[in-house]
């Protein structure tokens, strides 16, 4: 079955960087994109951007431009999201999701990775 | 950016009730509207895509309708496992945006 498995929880200090991985299985990795969505504690869903696993093209949310980088490793069917210059308001659960470019849906989602930014 | 507004923000309902959640876009998004269900501590799950198409494996009591700016998610005969938070999401333009969520609670 299609599955996305993310790396474990992280605790970082303000100003540091975090890199979250998302390993895909059960489908042809390069036929879809991977999108990243985050959810602050008790809050709604915030789209961060996507990457095409086919050609590496990316599209990032404007508010994260310059701080976020999304990459893929097609040899291992793994996507990565790196967020730099972390602030306390970056504390959130970070989800990866398979992205279908046509209709634009996210399915399925990874289990989520909690990133806590605290001094 | 396209703003997505859901109503109500929360509702209380009983098992067997019919529940309707509304999502309004700040501009026309044709049928590029998806619905997700999220249970506490879990990742969201796709229910409906392109406004009215039922995702494989999702029970038929879930249905979606609408186009342009106004959309509806309907749950017929609410079941205990349906108590969750529901989000709409537009896929018409970037940035992709979500509604603020509608929490369906047990009455």
Average pLDDT of the segment spanning A66-91: 98
**CB-closest option in A47, A95, A97 to B97:** A47
**CB-closest option in B44, B55, B91 to A45:** B44
| A111·B55 Cβ contact <8 A | no
Residue whose pair of structure tokens reads 């494989």 in the numeric block? B56
Rounded Cα distance, A19 and A41, in Å: 20
Nearest CA-CA partner of A35 in A11, A64, A13: A64
Band the pLDDT of A103: cuts 50, 70, 90: confident
Band the pLDDT of A5: cuts 50, 70, 90: very high
Interface of A with B (CB under 8 A): 35, 37, 44-47, 59, 61-62, 95, 97, 103-112
Contact status, residue A35 vs residue A22, Cβ threshold 8 Å:
no
Give the pLDDT confidence of A13-34 residue by residue, as tens digits.
999 999 999 999 999 999 999 9
B57 touches chain A (CB under 8 A): no
B54 touches chain A (CB under 8 A): no
- The whole-number mean pLDDT for each consecutive block of 10 residues of chain B, a chain of 107 residues, reads 98 96 98 98 98 97 98 96 97 97 95
Query: Which chain B residues are Cβ-neighbours of A37 within 8 angstroms?
Result: 44
Shortest alpha-carbon distance between residue A71 and chain B (Å): 19
Rounded Cα distance, A48 and A58, in Å: 11
Identify the helix (H) or strand (E) that includes residue A93: strand A92-100
Give the pLDDT confidence of A49-67 residue by residue, as tens digits.
999 999 999 999 999 999 9
**Residue ranges of E strands in B1-107:** 4-7, 10-13, 19-25, 33-38, 45-49, 53-54, 62-67, 70-75, 85-90, 97-98, 102-106
Band the pLDDT of A102: cuts 50, 70, 90: confident
Contact status, residue A41 vs residue A117, Cβ threshold 8 Å:
no
Please provide the DSSP assignment of A2-51 as one string.
-EEEE---EEE-TT--EEEEEEEESS-GGGSEEEEEEE-TT---EEEEEE
B91 touches chain A (CB under 8 A): yes
Q: What distance lies between CA A72 and its chain's CA centroid?
A: 11
Which of B6, B96, B99, B102 to mutate to probe the A interface, most A CBs <10 Å? B96
Band the pLDDT of A116: cuts 50, 70, 90: very high
């Amino acid at each position: 079955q299609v599955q996305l498995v993310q790396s474990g929880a992280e605790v970082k200090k303000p100003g540091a960087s975090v890199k979250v991985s998302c390993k895909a299985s059960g489908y042809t990795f390069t036929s879809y994109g991977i999108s990243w969505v985050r959810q602050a504690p008790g809050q709604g869903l915030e789209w961060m951007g996507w990457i095409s696993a086919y050609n590496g093209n990316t599209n990032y949310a404007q508010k994260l431009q310059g701080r976020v980088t999304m990459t893929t490793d097609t040899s291992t069917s793994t996507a990565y999201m790196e967020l730099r210059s972390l602030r306390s308001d970056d504390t959130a659960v970070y989800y990866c999701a398979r992205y279908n470019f046509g209709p634009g849906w996210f399915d399925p989602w990874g289990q989520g990775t909690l990133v806590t930014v605290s001094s | 950016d396209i703003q997505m507004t859901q109503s109500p923000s929360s509702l209380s309902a009983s098992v067997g009730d019919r529940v309707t959640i509304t999502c309004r876009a700040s501009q026309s998004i044709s049928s590029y509207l998806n619905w997700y269900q999220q249970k506490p501590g879990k990742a969201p799950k796709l229910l409906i895509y392109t406004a009215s198409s039922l995702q494989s494996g999702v029970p038929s009591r879930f249905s979606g309708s609408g186009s342009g700016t106004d959309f509806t998610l309907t749950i017929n005969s609410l079941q205990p496992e349906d108590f969750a938070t529901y989000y709409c999401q537009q896929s018409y333009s970037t940035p992709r945006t979500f509604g603020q969520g509608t929490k369906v609670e047990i009455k």
